[in-house]
Amino acid sequence: MYRDKKVVVVMPAYNAAKTVRQTYDEVRAQGVADLIILVDDRSRDDTVAIAKSLEGVLVYVHEENRGYGGNQKTCYRLALEAGADIVVMIHPDYQYTPLLLPAMVSMIGNGLHPCVLGSRILGGYALRGGMPLWKYIANRFLTLAENILLGAKLSEYHTGFRAFSREILVALDLSNNSDDFVFDNQMLAQIFWHGFTIGEVSCPTKYFPEASSINLRRSIKYGFGCLATGMSFRLAKWGMGGAKLFASKQTAPVGGR
């Protein structure tokens, strides 16, 4: 609990057997998580077996691979069903440090922001942590374009370390979001659309063989998806489009597929 608020950490997992225990240990060491939920997206390694051996972890396994976005939809549904007041999403590949959990939780728990992102760009950690130069350049270009289209000032939109208040997860209708990687971007656009603020903290990251990363082809697809999301947002603001992503608020907790 943080100020009588239940904190749930969710981990969307896929082939994370080599790093899930290390991520778990560091999450537990911070002492703020009341529950850890790991949703496995039909991994082909021992992710599920290892996760089930960890104390205090609720493990949910998809019957079929639903994609990164589809995995998150299940994560947030299960977190809300478990009574979460604050939900932190962190990848179990140990690319992002769980040491920032207390800071991110406190920003939400103290009412500063209902959403907090762990930014690899603030503090200059991206390149120092091993981010490939081409990914860094693409990150900066997409972030500039999205800040213009969404009227925001984030340092990056592409981090996999995010924290949300229950209020946000109840308000957003995630059902029309992609089941692919662009889900992350669509969710941030929805948060801005509904008038919520987003805070950021500087987050050291590590790039190594076991850390998940999408290839060039999927990165290009993701980039165009981000730009399309930004354009949809801008057109909807101008009353020139009826994008389902921004059509209306939801009045009940989000659900999975």
Pairing of strands 86-90, 161-165: antiparallel
> Per-residue pLDDT averaged across 116-141, rounded?
91
Sorting pLDDT into bands at 50, 70 and 90, what band is 211?
Answer: low
Q: Are 95 and 212 in contact, with CB atoms under 8 Å apart? A: yes
Pairing of strands 7-13, 86-90: parallel
Name residue 65's amino acid.
N
Q: Are 33 and 27 in contact, with CB atoms under 8 Å apart? A: yes
Provide the β-strand partners of residue 36. 9, 57
> Per-residue pLDDT averaged across 106-112, rounded?
97
pLDDT tens profile 88-102: 999 999 999 999 999
Say what the pLDDT of residue 123 is.
Answer: 86
Indicate the CATH number for domain 7-246.
3.90.550.10
Name residue 87's amino acid.
V
Name the residue with higher pLDDT: 114 or 215: 114
pTM of this structure = 0.92
Alpha-carbon gap, residue 245 to 172, rounded angstroms: 9
Tell me: pLDDT of 253 over 50. Answer: no
